[in-house]
Structure 1
Amino acid sequence: MSLNINIPDGPYDYQPLYEALFDPSDQGADASAFYVDLQDTVGRALGTLPERSAHIPAMRYGFAGQDPHTLEECGAVLGVTRERIRHLEVKAIAELRLIAEFMAESVAAKQ
């Protein structure tokens, strides 16, 4: 089982997973609990990555209370090109998928 934290939203941008799964206008308890749990899970997964690797997906997809940033905005903050940010993002997403698979296997083993 793998976790895909990005959803294509056009050829150059991605929509954050939690925005695709969570309707911010739905203020029900179940929806709020799901959102908090999803943010916690993604936060724990990001916390296992090196700081720079974790920083890029957090900026791109708006985790940790940030608004999502474009490749250009991320590049300006880190002093690299948008293409380099894209490469680093792909690498970080691949690492997050491995972490998600490990987390899913750990949960399945406990059940």
Structure 2
Amino acid sequence: YQGHGLDMTDLVQEGMLGLIRAVEKFDYRKGFKFSTYGTLWIRQAIQRGLENSARTIRLPVHVNQRMRAIARAEREMAALLGRDPTDAELAETTDLPIEEILEARKAAMGVTSLDIGVGEDGDTTLGDLLPSDEPMPSDLAEINDRKLLVRDAVSSLPASERTVLELRFGLTGEDPTTLAQTGRELGVTPERARQLEEQGLRRLAESGTVRSLREEA
């Protein structure tokens, strides 16, 4: 996700917001693996952060609605299947032709940048010619405050639990690790790594920081 509008620090913070949201929504009684479920929410949070920060021409409302429906179905199906669904499976779930799913994805990838220079000298951007819809300073301050709260919540965990969550969900910018890889990194068994992950997630969900974020949402 690097090189698309957010630096590594912001990407990690967006991912942490997704992890906390996953903790709030996760229901172990449904039999899902949290590693799969949490990764999906982290990925979605990062993608949403990139979308919010990008200065791009808005897509038609119906295309945006279709893209959101596809993304929601993709997330729910991945949690059920334990893998990313195929286009055919998405089409069946959303009652959309495969062609429309592919078109929606193509539209998302082909949005025109507003930073492209226009005019004879190229010193005016396309975005300069459109009304500004950037967040107000107060909104940006609130977003930054929430990111700081998330970072504080994770950093307040015991070192072993914090390290496990950082490794398992790639919170420091690295690729997520398996329980076996995490265990090797810490010098413990995969089962112990799983226990530390569970303890950290439970402690995170019960923290006052997460409760305050939930109340504000």
Give distance in 2, aligned partners of 1:78 and 1:106.
32
> Match for 2:156 among 28, 33, 48?
48
Give distance in 1, aligned partners of 2:148 and 2:40.
15
Give distance in 2, aligned partners of 1:48 and 1:19.
23
Which residues in structure 2 correspond to 1:64-75 (within 5 Å)?
Answer: 64-75=172-183
What are structure 2's unaligned runs of at least 5 residues? 1-19, 55-139
Query: Structure 1 vs Structure 2: percent identity of aligned residues?
Result: 24
1:94 deviates by: 0.2
Change (3 A) 1:95 1:105: closer
**Which residue of structure 2 lines up, in the alignment, with residue 20 of structure 1?**
44
Change (3 A) 1:16 1:46: farther
Select the structure with the greater relative contact order (CA < 8 A; seq sep ≥ 6).
Answer: 1
Number of equivalenced pairs = 102
- C-alpha RMSD over aligned residues: 3.6
More helix by share: 2
Which runs of at least 4 in structure 1 moved beyond 6 Å after TM superposition?
Answer: 35-38
Of structures 1 and 2, the larger Rg is shown by 2
What are structure 1's unaligned runs of at least 5 residues? none
Give distance in 2, aligned partners of 1:81 and 1:22.
31
Letter paired with 2:168? R
Give the TM-score taking structure 2 as reference length: 0.38
